[in-house]
Amino acid sequence: MKTIRRLSGSLVFLLLLVCLSPNLVAGESGREIIDKTNWEKAEGLVPDCMLEWVKKGEWTLPLGKLNYDTSEYFTPYAIESFTGNVGKYDLNEEDIIVETETGEMARMVIGFPFPKIDPEDPKAAIKIMYNKQYVTYVIGCKNFSTFVWWIGRSTGFEREISVIFNDAYLTGYPGARKYKNPKDIERYALISVKAPYDLAGTAQLMWRYLSAKADMNFAYVPAIRRVRRMSPANRSDGFVGSDFAVDDILAYDGKIPLFEWELIEKKEALVSFAGTEPIQANVNARGEWETGRRRPSMDYGFHKKEWQGSPWAPLSLTYVKRPVWVIKAKSKDPYYNYGTQYVWVFADSWGPAYKIVHDRSEKFWKFLSATTAGYKTDDGKVKFLSWMDHVIVDTRREHATVISQLHPDTNLMFNAELNLNDFSLAGFQKFCK
């Protein structure tokens, strides 16, 4: 009888220990999680709005340590640019990248244009943003299938949109040299909605130039059955009624000279990774880098009935401390929807971490978080970083949009072989309904 009582007492003690220890993640003994009971540990390390959500139990921050070194997760030519491109490039009066020796526009930059940042440089923020742009260029063209989820505070999951993202870069990596580029294109981008039926065929096309020339943007709207020219300010409009604008992708996806940039500070931050291990990648017969099937499961609040926080809160990420640059941005276009924005960029890998958006009256409006993922082939010959799932929260609407790329049914192709004819107006038609 005494033995039974001792066992019962031990079980009760263990149950109390589990219930009273919110800093342990289920199934991962010893892994700390920052939540409303110890939110002070995240103070100064995440955006203020995010800290408030942690305080209220809306969001949690599972901490962890990466089992790989992100400094090794670059292509050899990108790593070579860390030293080879120091002082090689500069910015002209229009904030266009030029060759330092000649002062001429740089038509082909391999790797990162500004690997060494001087915080005292008055154009430091602009150079950081160019590096953030090139962090995607250095791994070549991309062909992604993606799911976009609409999530409401009271409604939970509302609808799913299937989207194709095609990006062709004509600078940044050696493979870009094979493309003829008489128009000095920096990048082509095409977004096409595949489902559901009421949105299928909606598409947007962008031509971005290396020069100061403004982007050319086109959109096809099935309701009017025609392609129309868009203003660059339209890139700040909500995409097909969602909470994200096209310029929100990767924290800022617009043309850099169209904004005023200011470096605020360099600091430590807790930033999200898809997991503690790199994700499997495979090289196919064409030399493209495909993602393998061994992917981490990306769960959000609406996936778990027992979750009491925000339905859009990510539940399966790992937060790691990293140095970031905090940059203030404001559009020069008076018709741009956003007011002041603050972009947090990795100081050690140039990828996006967070964005805070104010409206034109300078009231806080939106929050964006981007998740980093490391990829590696089984033989270790190909290693790279990419920025995957995005969470965009519209605090006015109490609504969010998740761009879900780390999903079992998505197809992610890096260093992809793309046909540039698809980015002509004639080629664009086949992506339209």
pLDDT in tens, 373-385: 999 999 999 999 9
Average pLDDT of span 336-356? 97
Q: Is the pLDDT of residue 139 over 90?
A: yes
Q: Does residue 373 form part of some domain?
A: yes
Distance between start and end Cα atoms, the chain: 75
pLDDT at 40: 98
Is pLDDT above 90 for 429? no
Domain contains 164 = yes
**pLDDT higher than threshold 50 for residue 300:** yes
The better pLDDT of the pair 1, 159 is held by 159
Residue 163 has pLDDT above 70, yes or no: yes
Compute the distance between CA of residue 329 and CA of residue 126 in angstroms, rounded to an integer: 10
Find the mean pLDDT for residues 73-92: 97
Q: How far is CA 324 from the centre of its chain?
A: 14
What is the spatial distance between Cα 245 and Cα 262, in angstroms, rounded to a whole number?
A: 22
Assigned domain for 92 exists: no
Averaged pLDDT for residues 206-220: 95
Share of the chain above pLDDT 90, in %: 84
Residue-level pLDDT at 29: 45
**Domain CATH code at residue 393:** 2.50.20.10
Number of structural domains in the chain? 1
Q: What is the pLDDT of residues 7-66, one digit of tens each?
A: 444 444 444 444 444 444 433 445 799 999 999 999 999 999 999 999 999 999 999 999
The answer to whether residue 99 is domain-embedded is no
Across 154-291, the runs of DSSP E, i.e. the strands, are 156-169, 185-195, 203-209, 216-221, 226-230, 259-273, 279-283, 289-291
Cβ atoms 158, 151 nearer than 8 A: yes
In a domain, 94, yes or no: no
Per-residue pLDDT, averaged over 71-80, amounts to 96
The pLDDT, as a whole number, for residue 431 is: 87
Banded model confidence at residue 5, pLDDT cuts 50, 70, 90: very low
Tens digit of each residue's pLDDT (9 = 90 or more) over 240-279: 999 999 999 999 999 999 999 999 999 999 999 999 999 9
Asked whether residue 46 is assigned to any structural domain, the reply reads no
Per-residue pLDDT band for 4 (boundaries 50, 70, 90) equals: very low
Token pair belonging to 211: 């020069």
Query: Does residue 112 have a pLDDT over 80?
Result: yes
Average pLDDT of the segment spanning 365-392? 96
Range of the domain at 183: 137-431
**Is 129 among the domain residues?**
no
pLDDT above 50 (res 336): yes
**Position 135 pLDDT exceeds 80:** yes
pLDDT attached to residue 76: 96
What is the average pLDDT score of the chain?
91
Count Cβ atoms below 10 Å from residue 308 Cβ, excluding itself.
8
Residue 247 lies in a domain: yes
With cut-offs at 50, 70 and 90, classify the pLDDT of residue 149. very high
Residue 30: its pLDDT value, please? 59
What is the per-residue pLDDT for 222?
A: 83
Q: What is the pLDDT of residue 226?
A: 83
